[in-house]
């Protein structure tokens, strides 16, 4: 399923080590998802989107979204025919949400719980 652009869970400890240079002192990765070559990291401080660009993936954009910038979010669970769940995140001053699709194997309720925990601070 990942070949179609859908995210799947990766080990937060592995993501912590792999992206250590991006993290602030004491910042911890709580959840991580892989989308082909791109990665979403949910830390205790922010959401980090790692976008590998080009054919080789050597050029990388790191997009950091502090949780306080998230105005609201929505999840759509998988159905019988649509096996994927979707996450939409609205960031202040941007009317178009960030959208990500997760395979049925990802617990979208866990993703929602992580966002609720950090956005509600």
Tell me which of 97 and 8 has the higher pLDDT.
97
Answer whether 75's CB lies under 8 Å from 85's CB. Answer: yes
| Local confidence band at 23 (pLDDT 50, 70, 90 cut-offs) | very high
User: CB of 116 within 8 A of CB of 108?
Assistant: no
In this predicted model, what pLDDT tens digit does every residue of 36-68 receive, in sequence order? 678 899 999 999 999 888 777 788 999 899 999
Partners of 49 in the β-ladder: 40, 63
Angle at 59 between CA 16 and CA 86, to 5 degrees: 60
**Runs of H (alpha helix) within the chain:** 12-18, 108-119
Quote the pLDDT of residue 6: 59
Q: Is the pTM of this model over 0.85?
A: no
Pairing relationship of beta strands 70-76 and 85-91 according to DSSP bridges? antiparallel
Question: Could you report the per-residue pLDDT of 61-113, keeping only the tens digit for each?
Answer: 998 999 999 999 998 887 666 667 888 999 998 899 988 877 766 788 888 89
Say which DSSP state 114 is in.
H
């Amino acid at each position: 399923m990942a070949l179609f652009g859908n995210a799947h869970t990766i080990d937060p400890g592995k993501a912590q080590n792999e992206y250590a240079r991006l993290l602030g002192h004491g910042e911890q990765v709580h959840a991580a998802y892989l989308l082909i070559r791109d990665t979403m990291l949910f830390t205790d401080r922010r959401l980090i989107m790692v976008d590998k660009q080009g054919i080789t993936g050597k050029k990388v954009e790191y997009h950091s979204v502090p949780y306080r910038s998230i105005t609201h979010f929505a999840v759509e669970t998988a159905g019988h025919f649509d096996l994927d769940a979707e996450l939409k995140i609205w960031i202040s001053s941007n009317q178009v949400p960030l959208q990500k699709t997760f395979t049925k194997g990802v617990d979208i309720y866990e993703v929602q719980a992580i966002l609720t925990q950090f956005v509600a601070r």
